[in-house]
Amino acid sequence: MGDLILQIRKLTNFFGMVCTAKELDLDIEAGVLTSIIGPNGAGKSTLINLITGNLPVQSGSILFKGREISRLPIHQRVRLGICRSFQIVNIFPELTVLENLLIPTLALSGRTRRFFAKIEGEDRARDQVKNLLEKVGLAGVKDTPANVLSHGDQRLLEVGVALAVEPSLLFLDEPTAGMNPVERVKVLENIRQLSREGQTTFVLVEHDMDIVFSLSERVVVLHRGDILGDGTPEEIKNNVQVREVYLGDSV
Ligand SMILES: Nc1ncnc2c1ncn2[C@@H]1O[C@H](COP(=O)(O)OP(=O)(O)OP(=O)(O)O)[C@@H](O)[C@H]1O
Ligand SMILES: [Mg+2]
């Protein structure tokens, strides 16, 4: 195993009687494109929420680059480099693509308090946004208001917004939900490419098994708060338990 960017230990989460994580242990390896799959309601989104701080951790520990983060507020986790996109599109609809990307980029460069840093920061932010537009393939629509974009491009913009804060760990919750096949390929190629560049470790939650198996280097199967399977796409496809509970005859 390479460097572990995330180490989850004995993470437990209940919603009333419903248990979505039962003393869960999970490591995420830096640079390894990992997918988390499992039936509806398995607790995939909840797991992301616990890691990013959108939900309070009830018990257990989460180490990010060796540091305990499970009690830190969201913004501190973002600052450390943990970011996420949501299952539902989450951008400013009235603002253009460029403006949507400029906001988090400026917020990031605003971290410095140096004299004159503000103007320098804005120049740098513009360069960074240009770079981001290229990365997510939206340079051609940079002046288009976000709500006019196709659904696929909106999801790409979301990925761009998440990348703007230069995360080292990025969770994408169903990035291709509601997309047509053409948009899907575009988004996936993008994620594949960005993952190869190596600055960001991607963790994907996805229901489309074609996507999961073609894109992932590792697949983790979540079921009733437990890890039912963990391995390469090939191993997961051939895992008897996983087939019984989740995949059925779909592979
Ligand atoms: N904030 C919450 N309060 C109470 N119950 C919740 C909350 N969020 C999720 N749940 C419940 O926890 C369980 C796991 O939900 P979660 O959204 O994590 O599943 P999921 O694996 O992401 O499912 P899907 O594939 O449908 O997105 C479900 O039974 C859900 O109803
Ligand atoms: Mg979900």
Q: Is the CB of 16 under 6 A from ligand 1?
A: no
Q: How far is CA 226 from the centre of its chain?
A: 20
Partners of 59 in the beta sheet? 12
Instruction: Residue 109: name the closest of 97, 125, 133, 130 by CA.
Output: 125
The pLDDT of residue 148: 95
What residue owns the CA closest to ligand 1's atom 31? 41
- Residues whose CB is less than 8 angstroms from the CB of residue 235 and which lie 6 or more positions away in sequence, other chains included: 219, 229
Ligand 1, pocket-test mutation among 46, 50, 212, 223, most atoms within 8 A of CB: 46
Calpha distance 187→7 (Å, rounded) = 28
How high is the pLDDT of residue 110?
A: 62
15 lines ligand 1 (CB under 6 A): yes
Label the pairing between strands 59-64 and 34-37: unpaired
Q: Are the CB atoms for 116 and 152 separated by under 8 Å?
A: no
Is the CB of 41 inside a 6 Å radius of any atom of ligand 1? yes
Side chain identity, residue 116: F
The pLDDT tens digits for 110-158 are 654 555 566 666 778 888 999 999 988 899 999 999 999 988 889 889 9
Note whether 212 and 233 are within 8 A (CB).
yes
Q: Which residue has its alpha carbon closest to ligand 1 atom 9?
A: 46
Q: Is 154 in the pocket of ligand 1 (CB under 6 A)?
A: no
Q: State the Cα angle at 189 between 5 and 49, rounded to 5°.
A: 40
In this prediction, residue 221 carries a pLDDT of 97
For ligand 1, atom 7: residue with the closest CA: 15
| Total domains in the fold of the chain | 1
Residue 107 pLDDT: 77
Q: What is the CATH number of the domain that holds 165?
A: 3.40.50.300
Judge contact between 34 and 218, C-beta under 8 A. yes
Backbone angles phi, psi at 59, to 5 degrees: -155, 155
pLDDT at residue number 187: 83
Ligand nearest to the CA of 46: 1
Range of the domain at 189: 4-247
Given a cut of 70, the residues of the chain with pLDDT beneath it are: 1, 87-88, 109-121, 249-251
| Amino acid present at 227 | I
* For ligand 1, mutation pick of 13, 17, 45, 85 (most atoms within 8 Å of CB): 45
Q: What is the 3-state secondary structure (H, E, C) of the chain?
A: CCCEEEEEEEEEEEECCEEEEEEEEEEEECCCCEEEECCCCCCHHHHHHHHHCCCCCCEEEEEECCEECCCCCHHHHHHHCEEEECCCCCCCCCCEHHHHHHHHHHHHHCCCCCCCHHHHHHHHHHHHHHHHHHHCCCHHHCCCEHHHCCHHHHHHHHHHHHHHCCCCEEEEECCCCCCCHHHHHHHHHHHHHHHHHCCCEEEEECCCHHHHHHHCCEEEEEECCEEEEEECHHHHHCCHHHHHHHHCCCC
Binding site membership of 206 for ligand 1 (Cβ less than 6 Å): no
User: 6: left (phi > 0), else alpha (psi -120 to 50), else beta?
Assistant: beta
Q: Whose CA is nearest to atom 10 of ligand 1?
A: 15
pLDDT value of residue 65 = 97
Question: Closest Cα to atom 28, ligand 1: which residue?
Answer: 41
Write down the pLDDT at residue 193.
Answer: 92
